Amino acid sequence: MRAGLIASTVGHLAILLWGVIAFPDARPFDVPPVDSLPVDLVPISDLTKLRKGEKTAELREEEAPKPTEKKAEAPQPDAKTGDAKKEQPTPSVPEAKNQPSKAQPTPAPTPPAQKTPEPPAPKEVAEPQPAPQPAPAPVAEKAPTPEPQKVEEAPKVAEATPVKVTPRSKPTPPKRTQTARTEEKKKDFDTTDIAALLNKVDPSGGGTQASSTPASLGSDKGQSNVQMTQSELDALRGQIARCWNPPVGAAGADDLNVRLKVSFTQGGDVDQLPQVMNSSGNPSFGIAAESAKRAVLRCAPYSLPVAKYDAWREVIINFDPRELLGG
Amino acid sequence: MTTVELAQSTVAAADSDISFFSLFLQAHIVVKLVMIGLLAASVWCWAIIVDKWFLYLRTKRQMNRFETVFWSGQSLEELYKTLANRANHSMAALFVAAMREWKRSHETAKPAIASLQQRIDRVMDVTIAREQERLESRLLVLATVGSAAPFIGLFGTVWGIMTAFQAIAASKNTNLAVVAPGIAEALFATALGLLAAIPAVIAYNKLSSDATRLSGRMEGFADEFSAILSRQIDERM
């Protein structure tokens, strides 16, 4: 027995010693470092912002290319031509070119006839109280009759005049040929003149091609800063919901969804009678649709942000008897 | 110091304290006693296991040797003479006890043969009982440790967790780094209990079956020897 006891004691001591050596202490777990997750706080208006585009276009991820915007036209001369402290810049050249093109349709431009009525106008312009909106055209037409009183006006206006005069003279020749040709056609048709006829076609100015990418979903008035935030839509929804008495006892309320197309005036009034956009086989759908229309009409005018009129000018509102959802 | 750093430093502090000895030293006195008791039980169990293991091996070897000698055709008288003076165990002891009774009954002036057979059987029964007692002694300790040690360890664990929760309540902090050492230290008691119980149970089953087999073998020999002696007695009557 003693041998067994000794053996056992020795064995236990050995195991304890081994335990102390093999498991000196618990190793800490390897905790994988947790990557921090970047979180951005985005205002809701960024998500609900209306893009510039067409209302009927499909929703796409990419924004359609923005149309090239003309720079704001040079300050209109309506800003006090007479006693301007600063120099007035010349009216932009393209405007001058537009005028002749507009002038072309007029049957026979008789330059002297136009000039004769003009002279009184420049005098008014030169007077200390300038006319509210002297269109650039009259100014250009004044130019041919240089008047000493216009010293106050910027000399650049005078410089612009020759440019404008030249286009005016150009359009006349083609018209003469055209009239001449029609006369010729009436008389007799000569096939050899076809080439000459084709060549005489007026060279068109550099127009721009339509963009090949379709327009994106958005507002057709095209102010990209027009945005109707979710909260504003909710506000509209809330205003309508207040006046809506849904058909409470109607059977089968599940398919009583009424979609109304409502157009508003800028003041928030309902423009025309709301149109029902959908239909249902439910016999009480008519009642529901009427109640929805009544609700829209009764609560007018609505207080909506005028700056965003473009966004709520025409709205489709979904009247769900279970829950009013705006669209 | 931010809370994260604070937690890390506590964890680091707790880390260094989870070795075996520090677990033992940190424990409550009751848990300490339980651990010491379980360790002692384990030592004692293993002592018994080792002891019995060698005893059974030895006994088996002796039985084999005796049986070869016994069935070799050697004279029983001579065999008795060689064995009588030694301290014998198992089969040899059985043989010597029976032969001694045989001799005593014949060596007297009036041989008492009438109930000699019964006397020899009884002597051999007593010897078998003694030998069985010798073989199976202390096996009950193994059985007891095997069944009780887990409960004792569990008691230590429950006590340790109790005190750990009290300490946590007092420290007013439920951080895992605070909770863990107390629970680890408490669980150590259960680990020790299982460590003592598992070998004890396995060894008890093995050793008790061995002991039963050995005593069965002795009973078989006793029956055979009793039959031989009975034949001798009947021939002499």
pLDDT per residue as tens digits for the range A33-52: 887 887 878 777 666 655 56
Give the count of Cβ contacts less than 8 A between chain A and B: 53
CB-based contact B221:B90 (threshold 8 Å): no
- Spell out the CATH class of A230-325: alpha beta
How high is the pLDDT of residue B182?
Answer: 82
How high is the pLDDT of residue A117?
Answer: 45
- Name which residue leads in pLDDT, A187 or A281: A281
Residue A212 pLDDT greater than 90, yes or no: no
Beta bridge partners, A263, equal: A314
Q: Mean per-residue pLDDT for A93-106?
A: 46
CB contact under 8 A, B15 and A5: no
Percentage of the residues of chain A whose pLDDT score is greater than 70: 39
Q: Is B24 on the interface with A (CB under 8 A)?
A: no
Q: Could you tell me the residue range of the domain that residue B110 belongs to? A: 26-236
Residue A168 pLDDT greater than 70, yes or no: no
CB-based contact A144:A161 (threshold 8 Å): yes
Q: Is B223 on the interface with A (CB under 8 A)?
A: no
Residue B20: which of A5, A20, A28 has the nearest Cβ? Answer: A20
ipTM of the complex: 0.73
CB contact under 8 A, A7 and B50: yes
Q: Mean per-residue pLDDT for A138-142?
A: 44
Beta bridge partners, A258, equal: A319
How high is the pLDDT of residue A241?
Answer: 80
How high is the pLDDT of residue B114?
Answer: 79
CB contact under 8 A, B47 and A24: no
| Total structural domains within chain B | 1
Strands A314-319 and A275-276: unpaired
**Of A53-62, A124-133, A253-262, B60-69, which one has max mean pLDDT?**
B60-69
| Cα of B164 to nearest chain A Cα, Å | 19
Q: Mean per-residue pLDDT for B136-164?
A: 93
pTM, two decimals, is 0.47
**d(Cα A305, Cα A314) in Å, to the nearest integer?**
14
Residues of B in contact with A25 (CB under 8 A): 15-19
CATH 3.30.1150.10 placement within chain A:
230-325
CB contact under 8 A, A20 and B19: yes
Residue A83 pLDDT greater than 60, yes or no: no
Q: Is B18 on the interface with A (CB under 8 A)?
A: yes
Comparing C-alpha atoms, which of A278, A281, A283 is closest to residue A320?
A278
Count CB neighbours of A1 within 10 A: 13
How high is the pLDDT of residue B5?
Answer: 46
Residue A310 pLDDT greater than 90, yes or no: no
How high is the pLDDT of residue A238?
Answer: 82
Q: What is the mean pLDDT of chain A?
A: 65
A contact test, residue of B50, B55, B135, B137 with most A CBs within 10 A: B50
**d(Cα A129, Cα B90) in Å, to the nearest integer?**
145
| Cα of B21 to nearest chain A Cα, Å | 8
Q: Is A189 on the interface with B (CB under 8 A)?
A: no
Q: Is residue B5, in this structure, part of any structural domain at all?
A: no
**d(Cα A152, Cα A133) in Å, to the nearest integer?**
18
CB contact under 8 A, B15 and A8: no
Which of A300-304, B91-95, B109-113, B135-139 shows the lowest mean pLDDT across its residues?
B109-113
How high is the pLDDT of residue B16?
Answer: 46
Residue B46: which of A1, A11, A25 has the nearest Cβ? Answer: A11
- Which value, in Å, is the radius of gyration of the alpha carbons in chain B? 30
Q: Is A183 on the interface with B (CB under 8 A)?
A: no
How high is the pLDDT of residue A6?
Answer: 92
Residues of B in contact with A19 (CB under 8 A): 20
Helix, strand, coil abundance in chain B, percent, nearest 5: 85, 0, 15
Which of A202-206, A221-225, B124-128 shows the lowest mean pLDDT across its residues?
A221-225
How high is the pLDDT of residue A282?
Answer: 77
Residue A294 pLDDT greater than 60, yes or no: yes
Nearest CA in chain B to A3: B51
How high is the pLDDT of residue B57?
Answer: 94
Which amino acid does the sequence have at B126?
A: V
Nearest CA in chain A to B12: A28
Residues of A in contact with B19 (CB under 8 A): 20, 23-25
Residue A1 pLDDT greater than 80, yes or no: no
If pLDDT is split at 50, 70 and 90, which confidence band does A220 have? low
If pLDDT is split at 50, 70 and 90, which confidence band does A248 have? low
CA torsion sign for A287, A291, A292, A297 is: positive
Q: Mean per-residue pLDDT for B150-165?
A: 92
Q: Is residue B168, in this structure, part of any structural domain at all?
A: yes
Q: Mean per-residue pLDDT for B64-89?
A: 87
Residue with tokens 């003469």: A176
- Name which residue leads in pLDDT, A18 or A99: A18
Residue A326 pLDDT greater than 60, yes or no: no
Nearest CA in chain A to B50: A4
| Three-state SS at A273 | coil
